[in-house]
Amino acid sequence: MPARRIALAWSLLALLVFAFAETASAHSELVSSNPKDGASLAAAPTKITLIFSEELQADGNLITVTDAGGAQVDNGDTTLDLNDPNRVTLTASLKGGLGAGTYTISWKNLSADGHNQEGSLSFSVAAATATTAVGPTSVPATGAGDSMPRAAILLSALLLGGAGLSMRRWAR
Ligand SMILES: [Cu+2]
């Protein structure tokens, strides 16, 4: 294989890796919520609001709220808030008359780039006894998604370096 073709292949590969890094960074992570994860409330909320980092599609998002016994307590009306110009806000309303206890909010979204993300959080109302432990997958740590693109950029740089070396060998 001629060295020039090898150099070209390295460059193309570098471009591909870089393009992948761009898409990977576009996942829509949970930024904030109302109620907040782990919140202890005096009375049950009537509505759940979740705010994400990237634009979401109008359909394909789901918020499900369950009580400690696993019964669904939301009205199944997950909506992308069209009043939010950034299209990053999801809401769902809750059934009335919810008593004391721990509730779990499970969510799944569909971002504008076609990727799904999911997670869960919990809150408790009034005289709740014990809070359910929520795993590390619940709320992504801020900036957690940055490590992958950074690694990809480093890989791109290495591959470009490889292309340069092949080129020099070809020029000799
Ligand atoms: Cu994505």
Q: Do residue 12 and residue 68 come from a single domain?
A: no
**Separation of CA 160 and ligand 1 centre (Å):** 25
**Separation of CA 82 and ligand 1 centre (Å):** 21
Q: Is 120 exposed, middle or buried (0-12, 13-18, 19+ CB in 10 A)?
A: buried
| pLDDT for residue 100 | 96
Any idea what the CATH number is for the domain that residue 122 is in?
2.60.40.1220
Sign of CA dihedral 52, 135, 46, 35: negative
Q: Do residue 102 and residue 166 come from a single domain?
A: no
Q: Do residue 73 and residue 156 come from a single domain?
A: no
CA distance 88 to 38: 22
Q: Do residue 21 and residue 42 come from a single domain?
A: no
Q: Do residue 146 and residue 135 come from a single domain?
A: no
| pLDDT for residue 161 | 64
Q: Do residue 86 and residue 154 come from a single domain?
A: no
Q: Do residue 132 and residue 106 come from a single domain?
A: yes
**Separation of CA 24 and ligand 1 centre (Å):** 5
Q: Tell me the one-letter amino acid at 10.
A: W
Please give the span between the terminal C-alpha atoms of the chain, in angstroms, as a whole number: 16
Q: What tens-digit pLDDT sequence spans the chain (172 residues)?
A: 577 776 777 766 666 665 665 555 569 999 999 999 999 999 999 999 999 999 999 999 999 999 999 999 999 999 999 999 999 999 999 999 999 999 999 999 999 999 999 999 999 998 744 455 554 544 444 444 444 565 565 666 666 666 665 656 655 5
Q: Do residue 117 and residue 157 come from a single domain?
A: no
Query: Are 54 and 26 a contacting pair, CB within 8 Å?
Result: yes
> The whole model's pTM is what?
0.62
Cβ-count burial 143-171 (b if 16+ within 10 Å, e if not): eebeeebeebeebbeebbebbeebbeeee
Neighbours of 126 (CB within 10 A): 13
Q: Do residue 97 and residue 161 come from a single domain?
A: no
**Separation of CA 104 and ligand 1 centre (Å):** 25
**Separation of CA 95 and ligand 1 centre (Å):** 32
Q: Do residue 73 and residue 133 come from a single domain?
A: yes
Residue 122: phi and psi, rounded to 5, are -140, 160
**In the chain, how many domains are there?**
2
* Ranges assigned E (strand) in 82-149: 89-93, 101-110, 116-125
Give the range of the structural domain holding residue 127, as residue numbers without chain letter.
30-139
